Amino acid sequence: MTNLTSIRDEELTAFLDDELDPNRREAIEAALQIDPLLSRRLDSLRIPRDDIASAFDVLTTMAPETPELPQTESVKTRGSFLNLAAMAACLLIGGLAGSLFSSKSGQRDGWMDYVAAYQALYVNETLSTITQSETQGIKQLEQLGEVVGRDLNGARSVEGIDFKRAQLLGFEGKPLVQIAYLSPRGEPMALCIIRSKAATDSAIKTTRLEGMSSAHWTRRGFAFLLIGGDDDRFISEIAERVSSSI
Amino acid sequence: MSRDVNTRGDRIIRHFTKKSSEVEIRERLPEVFPRLWRYAFVITGNRDLASDLAQATCLKAIEKSGSYQTGTHLDRWLFRVAQRIWLNDLRAQAVRRGNGLQPVEEIEIRDTGTNTETNYFAREVLSLVGALPEAQRATVLLVYVEGFKYAEAAEILGVPIGTIMSRLSAARKTLNARIGNQDRNAS
């Protein structure tokens, strides 16, 4: 038999709130049958829960408008995030694309990290399945050239790599052209071009980004990044050719 | 190379997680905000302080969005953030300024024009709950108004479940003595 004096008000409260485990609940129910004092104690704890809950409804109507929230770096590019996420989903790797828009801006060459993270998601089949006529390719490059204000036609025929497609991306509100190629070994490569504030040209530098070979340089107000594969010498050769033809 | 890939994958996923958490918080905040404000009002006992606390909570939520797991209970998470800000920061300021820690101010309930008696009772209930000590009224709001389980309320308030039980027990005794159990629906 349950020791009645051991039933505390806290337990009776939990009993009323249906928060007791079944054994303890049954014990209290049994005790209530035989102990009028316990019933009175229970009654002294009863409250009209529903009425209390509805009395508080009015307070939500007194709340002010939701405050304006400051924009943060990580959601500034939300529009492009959605577009690019949709694009990435087409590549069956949707979720991973988020890193492209995470907050690394403020670094001088932040855009290259984003491009590299995006490029890292490319596989051979991303590009090898693209079938595009020569005129389509020329048209794409002409349109993109107009957007960024630079003649890009030379990008279609770079000796040593196979042009696949050109498309417009965006970085912090600035147009970013991505031209995709396949290397002779079938590795996806990309040439990315964005307007640069750099007043002077800088020579080709090779570096590793996201484990891939890359070369970057600036020329007449534009920054270039060529990336893909892991052959540093090959990247640097192609970079030389591209820099002289675009 | 495979280590690089793993590191890269982790980083990408982390960035994506933070981003999607923030997006979800921004999207769902307007829907939760009135309840957040009500919670702030009940613990601060004052409209201006409530608005300050609710706003500070929203800002902190964006700042700390990485610790919110998408698809979980945003309301509970926001209440917990509010509770921490209140205890760590605003409460001490309120005490110094001489307000706060008071019973909830008299609340002007908008007259709906339909049932004056209902409004009278609602006002009575609000002022009785508002007269409870701060810890008790916060717990009453979370469990009896918001409908959280004891364990959920304990997590929001950062106290053991036993504390939730004793606060509710004390609150029930006080409220019962004032509004009693004349209501047949009392439980």
* B12 and B89 housed in the same domain: yes
Residues B43, B72: one domain? yes
Residues B123 and B143 grouped into a single domain: yes
pLDDT for res B180:
64
| Subunit contact A52:B173, Cβ cutoff 8 A | no
Choice between A54 and B18, residue whose per-residue pLDDT is larger: A54
Residue B2 belongs to a domain: no
pLDDT tens-digit series, residues A182-197: 999 899 999 999 988 8
Quickly state the pLDDT bin for A126 (edges 50, 70, 90).
Answer: confident
My answer on whether B132 and B149 are in the same domain is: yes
Chain B residues closer than 8 Å to A95 by CB: 13, 16
Q: Domain total for chain B?
A: 2
Indicate whether B56 and B114 sit together in one domain: no
Q: What is the pLDDT of residue B81?
A: 94
Mean of the per-residue pLDDT values of chain B: 81
Residue A89 pLDDT more than 80?
no
The parent domain of residue B13 ranges over 8-102
Find the CB nearest A47 among B19, B35, B176. B176
The domain boundary residue, chosen from B51, B84, B102: B102
The Cα A58–Cα B40 span in angstroms is: 14
Among A17, A46, A95, whose Cβ lies nearest the Cβ of B181? A46
- Picking from B41, B73, B102, the residue at the C-terminal end of a domain is B102
pLDDT at A148: 85
Position B3 in a domain = no
Rounded Cα distance between B130 and B44, Å, is 10
Q: From B9, which residue of chain A is nearest by alpha-carbon distance?
A: A96
Question: Helix, strand or coil for residue B88?
Answer: helix
* B33 in a structural domain: yes
Instruction: Let me know whether B93 and B16 are in one domain.
Output: yes
Residue A211: pLDDT over 70: yes
- Has residue B70 been placed in a domain? yes
CATH code of residue B59: 1.10.1740
Write out the two tokens for A134.
């020569």
Cβ neighbours of B164 in A, within 8 Å: none
Instruction: Using a pLDDT cut of 90, give the percent of chain A over it.
Output: 39
Q: Is residue B1 part of a domain?
A: no
Residue burial B134-164, b: 16+ Cβ < 10 Å; e: rest? bbbbbbbbbbbbbebebebbbbbbebebebb
* pLDDT tens digits along B6-40: 566 666 656 555 568 888 888 889 999 999 999 99
pLDDT number for residue A23: 94
Q: Say if residue B94's pLDDT is above 90.
A: no
> For residue B155, is it within any domain?
yes
Cross-chain CB nearest to A102 (options B8, B15, B141): B15
In a domain? residue B59:
yes
Mean pLDDT of A205-215: 90
Measured CA to CA, the distance from residue B113 to residue B126 in angstroms comes to: 19
Residue A222 has pLDDT above 70, yes or no: yes
Note whether B169 contacts A46, CB cutoff 8 Å: no
Q: Residue B169's domain is classified under what CATH number?
A: 1.10.10.10
- For residue B176, pLDDT over 50 is answered with yes
Residues B13 and B97 in one domain: yes
Write down the residue that tokens 């606390």 correspond to.
B53
Domain boundary among B102, B135, B158: B102
Which amino acid belongs to residue A214? S
Question: How far is A219 from A154, CA to CA, in rounded Å?
Answer: 15
Averaged pLDDT, A27-47: 94
pLDDT in tens, B43-82: 888 888 899 999 999 999 998 888 888 778 999 999 999 9
Q: B166 contacts in A (CB within 8 Å)?
A: 10
Q: Which of A5-19, A97-111, A117-131, B19-33 has the lowest mean pLDDT?
A: A97-111
Tell which wins on pLDDT, B159 or A83. B159
Residues B126 and B52 in one domain: no
pLDDT at B9: 64
Backbone CA torsion sign across B39, B43, B47, B53: negative
Rg (CA), chain B: 20
Main-chain phi, psi angles of A131, to 5 degrees: -115, 115
- For residue A3, is pLDDT > 50? yes
- Predicted-complex ipTM score: 0.81
B68 with B115, same domain? Answer: no
Same domain, B34 and B63: yes
Query: Does residue A42 register a pLDDT over 70?
Result: yes
The per-residue b/e assignment along A15-51, b for 16 or more CB within 10 angstroms, e otherwise, is bbbebbeeeeeebbeebbeebeebeebbeebbbbbeb
With a pLDDT cut of 90, the percent of chain B lying above it is 43
Domain-located, residue B98: yes
Q: Do residue B51 and residue B129 come from a single domain? A: no
Quick one: B111 and B96 in the same domain?
Answer: no
Most B CBs within 10 Å, among A44, A66, A187, to test the B interface: A66
